């Protein structure tokens, strides 16, 4: 149980350290040595494997018979160990992680005939890992999901096998080959896999025992009921929080009985059995490659090379607390298989997983809020509907009526502009906090006296708003009636009378003010020669106002600028540009805006071929500028060149 306590502590630390990687958890490996199948052979024969203590063992070195190979694991169970010893020492401590929303897996590995199925299933007299784990897990969920606890728990089971690289549903054999998928969060799932809810161990037996008979088995020389497929029992534990923030957790437990590696020379496999043996050995070979890739830190781990390794992606190098139970045989005829299994177990011990809590937030589904007829009425209307007997009672009210009034007159019901779903959520939370009494935090509740004062204030404000609206409508109707009776009264009415909204004048948006930026040198020259008169911008003080009722526009004096250019200035500018086009060099032409090196060379070449330009518009024939470019060219250059020519003289 110490392992479970330390694992829980690591889980809590991983939640506290936001943004950090989950803490590592090494794959734990336990080795189980089965007794001799033939007791007489065991009494007379010799063991090729011998246990040294509870964690280490040794095996003879086939290269040098005078030496032994020593292995050390997390646990070693000898031939005298029982099913309870293996379960309590290695499997039971990881069940607590499922209630924390984490994944766990138990794998039985070893050669054929080493006792893997016996370790996982057992017998009615000696139950194995699977029935013991389900019994304890269901007991834990009943205790944690009892009334008064913060979580509600539910357990579901699925049972499948991988037979010749096909995923078959043992609970529904007619479903055919299933596919293995991966969701956006990296979790492995099988769409279409049957899930059966279980609440007791009797429910588990009712589903599991018929499904176990659907598993593919066959007889070989070493075993009369040899497993011809990898069996995977998937148990999901879903948790839902009863109170806010209504979190959800999901923990998955994989109980995997792997098919054993086979030497066809000893098993005598032929035909179909030989094909099954080839598929089993191939998947186990890929499993070894995955373990080697994880230990070496390779960039690509070949999970997808086999259906088995794809399904074990969470268990090896993933997010699960993994236990590998390596089953070995003591006979010398199994020596090579035993050495291979021990080497695989030693490599698997170095694989690092990173378990984390699978937790998410789910919006709590609230029941619709149903209000009675009195609750739908306002406070003043509810007061009118009360009978004379209720009015004689006065302010003192029974506690039950006060409690209902506190819910009926909740300030949250005044938020009519809020989203209905959010309003229902807040009302439900208000009732929940009110039902908790002094134990809960009264975030949305107030004392009765303050609540009544608040409701009275809100009612008075609503009545005042309605009274002002009615008064405004009466004034507008009165003004319209006077104008309809005698139009002359419109001129004689008092100045304090409000003008109807329909006749109010609306000002027209002012045009954007535009100005021409003149260089500082040109402004100084203009100031030095007062005789020069260049009018570019003219200031006016008139502005028109429009009325919505169709009356004549009014004029309002306001400063504004209007662009006025003298014709002489335009003619002078155009002549200046024409002289520059006919006489200027390519460098002089580049001084004009929108004329670069290429366009200047084209203008000079065109002038040599066709003669001088007669007018500025002839520039269109050069085919270097569009109409918009010519228009912007004229606007940008005429005024500046004309002003410069008037002050500086012709070039």
What CATH number should be reported for the domain holding residue 634? Answer: 1.10.150.280
Judge whether 110 is annotated as a binding position. Answer: yes
Give bridge partners of residue 353 from the DSSP assignment: 25
pLDDT in tens, 550-581: 444 444 444 555 555 667 777 888 888 888 88
- Which residues, including other chains, have CB under 8 Å from residue 430's CB and lie 6 or more apart? 407, 410, 412, 444, 445
Answer yes or no: is 366 within a domain: no
The confidence score (pLDDT) of residue 196 equals 95
CA separation for the pair 338, 327 (Å, rounded): 9
The confidence score (pLDDT) of residue 248 equals 92
Answer yes or no: is 491 within a domain: no
**Which residue range(s) make up the domain with 600?**
567-641
Residue at which a domain ends, from 361, 395, 419? 361
Answer yes or no: is 54 within a domain: yes
What are φ and ψ of residue 156, in 5° steps?
A: -130, 155
CA separation for the pair 613, 578 (Å, rounded): 7
Residue at which a domain ends, from 329, 361, 393? 361
Supply the pTM of this predicted model. 0.55
Structure tokens belonging to residue 123: 């017998």
The confidence score (pLDDT) of residue 415 equals 54
Q: How far apart are the first and last CA of the chain?
A: 103
Q: What is the 3-state secondary structure (H, E, C) of 311-323?
A: HCCCCCCCCEEEE
Answer yes or no: is 499 within a domain: no
The structure tokens 């590592």 sit at 24
Judge whether 112 is annotated as a binding position. Answer: yes
Answer yes or no: is 344 within a domain: yes
CA separation for the pair 517, 504 (Å, rounded): 40
The structure tokens 């040294």 sit at 52
Judge whether 330 is annotated as a binding position. Answer: no
Residue at which a domain ends, from 343, 361, 379? 361
In the chain, how many domains are there?
A: 2
The confidence score (pLDDT) of residue 596 equals 83
Q: Residue 236: in which H helix or E strand, if any? A: strand 230-241
Low-confidence ranges of the chain (pLDDT < 50): 1-19, 40-44, 364-371, 374-380, 383, 387-410, 412-413, 437-444, 494-496, 498, 500-505, 535, 543-558, 646-651
Answer yes or no: is 61 within a domain: yes
Answer yes or no: is 444 within a domain: no
The confidence score (pLDDT) of residue 426 equals 76
Question: Can you give the CATH number for the domain in which 121 is found?
Answer: 3.40.850.10
Judge whether 194 is annotated as a binding position. Answer: no
């Amino acid at each position: 149980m110490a392992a479970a306590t330390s694992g829980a502590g690591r889980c809590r630390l991983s939640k506290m350290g936001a943004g950090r990687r989950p803490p590592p958890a090494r794959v734990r490996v336990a080795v189980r040595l089965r007794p001799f199948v033939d007791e007489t052979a065991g009494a007379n024969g010799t063991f090729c494997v011998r246990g040294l203590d509870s964690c280490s063992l040794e095996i003879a070195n086939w290269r040098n018979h005078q030496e032994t190979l020593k292995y050390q694991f997390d646990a070693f169970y000898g031939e005298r160990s029982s099913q309870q010893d293996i379960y309590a020492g290695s499997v039971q401590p990881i069940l607590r992680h499922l209630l924390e929303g984490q994944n766990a897996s138990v794998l039985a590995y070893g050669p054929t005939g080493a006792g893997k199925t016996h370790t996982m299933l057992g017998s009615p007299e000696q139950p194995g890992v699977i029935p013991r784990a389900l019994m304890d897990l269901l007991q834990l969920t009943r205790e944690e999901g009892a009334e008064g606890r913060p979580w509600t728990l539910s357990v579901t089971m699925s049972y499948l096998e991988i037979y010749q690289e096909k995923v078959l549903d043992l609970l529904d054999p007619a479903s055919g080959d299933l596919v293995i998928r991966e969701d956006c969060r990296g979790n492995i799932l099988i769409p279409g896999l049957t899930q059966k809810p279980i609440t007791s161990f009797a429910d588990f037996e009712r589903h599991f025992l018929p499904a176990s008979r659907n598993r593919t088995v066959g007889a070989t020389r070493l075993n009369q009921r040899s497993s011809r497929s990898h069996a995977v029992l998937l148990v999901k534990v879903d948790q839902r929080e009863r109170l806010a923030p209504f979190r959800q957790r999901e923990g998955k437990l994989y109980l995997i009985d792997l098919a054993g590696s086979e030497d066809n020379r000893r098993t005598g496999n032929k035909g179909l059995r030989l094909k099954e043996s080839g598929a089993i050995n191939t998947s186990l070979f890929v499993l070894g490659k995955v373990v080697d890739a994880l230990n070496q830190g390779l960039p690509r781990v070949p999970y997808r090379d086999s259906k088995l390794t794809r399904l074990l992606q969470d268990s090896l190098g993933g997010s699960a607390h993994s236990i590998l139970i390596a089953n070995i045989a003591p006979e010398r005829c199994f020596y090579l298989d035993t050495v291979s299994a021990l080497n695989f177990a030693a490599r698997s011990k170095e694989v690092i997983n990173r378990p984390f809590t699978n937790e998410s937030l789910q919006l709590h589904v609230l029941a619709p809020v149903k209000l009675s007829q009195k609750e739908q009425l306002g406070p003043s209307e509810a007061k009118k509907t009360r009978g004379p007997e209720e009015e004689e009672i006065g302010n003192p009210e029974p506690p039950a009526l006060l409690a209902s009034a506190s819910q009926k007159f909740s300030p949250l019901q005044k938020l009519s502009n809020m989203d209905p779903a959010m309003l229902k959520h807040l009302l439900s939370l208000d009732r929940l906090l009110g039902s908790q009494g002094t134990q809960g935090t009264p975030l949305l509740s107030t004392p009765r006296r303050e609540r009544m004062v608040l409701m009275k204030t809100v009612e008075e404000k609503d009545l005042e708003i309605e009274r002002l609206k009615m008064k405004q409508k009466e004034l507008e109707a009165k003004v319209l009636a006077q104008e309809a009776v005698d139009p002359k009264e419109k001129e004689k009415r008092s100045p304090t009378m409000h003008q109807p909204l329909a006749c109010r004048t609306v000002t027209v948006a002012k045009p954007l003010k535009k100005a021409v930026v003149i260089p500082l040198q040109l402004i100084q020259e203009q100031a030095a020669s007062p005789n020069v008169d260049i009018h570019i911008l003219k200031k006016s003080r008139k502005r028109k106002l429009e009325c919505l009722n169709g009356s004549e526009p009014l004029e309002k004096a306001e400063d504004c600028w209007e662009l006025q250019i003298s014709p002489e200035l335009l003619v002078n500018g155009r002549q200046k540009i024409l002289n520059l086009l006919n006489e200027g060099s390519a460098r002089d032409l580049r001084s004009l805006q929108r004329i670069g090196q290429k366009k200047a060379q084209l203008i000079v070449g065109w002038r040599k071929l066709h003669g001088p330009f007669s007018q500025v518009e002839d520039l269109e024939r050069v085919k270097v500028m569009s109409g918009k470019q010519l228009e912007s060219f004229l606007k940008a250059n005429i005024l500046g060149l004309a002003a410069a020519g008037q002050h500086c003289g012709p070039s």
